[in-house]
Amino acid sequence: MNETINYYDEHASQYFDSTSQVDLAMLYKEFLEYIPIGGRIMDLGCGSGRDVKWFRDHGYDAYGLDASEELIKIARNQLDIPVELGLIEEWVANEVCDGIWCCASLMHLDDMSFDRFLSNLRFNLRPGGALFISVKEGIESGVSEDGRYFRDFSEATLNAFLSHYKDLRLEKVWYTKDKLQRESFRWLNAIIIRNNP
- For residue range 147-180, list pLDDT tens digits in order: 999 999 999 999 999 999 999 999 999 999 877 6
Does 183 have pLDDT greater than 80? no
What does the pLDDT read at residue 2? 84
pLDDT at position 126 = 98
Distance CA 90, CA 123 (A): 11
Q: What phi and psi, each to the nearest 5 degrees, are found at residue 101?
A: -115, 125
Query: What residues are paired with 97 via a beta bridge?
Result: 125
Taking the C-alpha atoms of residue 51 and residue 56, their distance in angstroms, rounded to an integer, is 9
Cα pseudo-dihedral 47, 24, 26, 158, rounded to 10: -40
Nearest residue to 106 via CA among 45, 169, 188: 45
Q: How far apart are CA 22 and CA 164, in angstroms?
A: 34
* Mean pLDDT within 50-70: 97
CA dihedral 48, 51, 57, 60 (to 10 degrees): -130
Q: Are 73 and 90 in contact (CB under 8 A)?
A: no
The whole-model pTM stands at: 0.94
- Asked whether residue 140 carries a pLDDT value surpassing 80, the answer given is yes
Q: What is the mean pLDDT of the chain?
A: 94
What pLDDT is attached to residue 65? 98
Question: What is the pLDDT, as a whole number, of residue 185?
Answer: 82
Q: What is the pLDDT of residue 182?
A: 66
Q: Quickly state the pLDDT bin for 51 (edges 50, 70, 90).
A: very high
Cα gap 132→184, rounded to integer Å: 23
Closest CA to 189 of 9, 124, 178, 197: 178
| Contacts of residue 23, Cβ cutoff 8 Å, sequence gap at least 6 | 179
Residue 44 has pLDDT above 70, yes or no: yes
Range 78-104 average pLDDT: 96
Instruction: Answer yes or no: are the C-beta atoms of 4 and 142 closer than 8 Å.
Output: no
Q: Between 20 and 88, name the one with better pLDDT.
A: 88
Q: Name the superfamily (CATH) of residues 2-194.
A: Vaccinia Virus protein VP39 (3.40.50.150)
DSSP state of 98: E
By DSSP bridging, strand 97-103 and strand 125-137 are parallel
C-alpha 57/C-alpha 172 separation (Å) is: 26
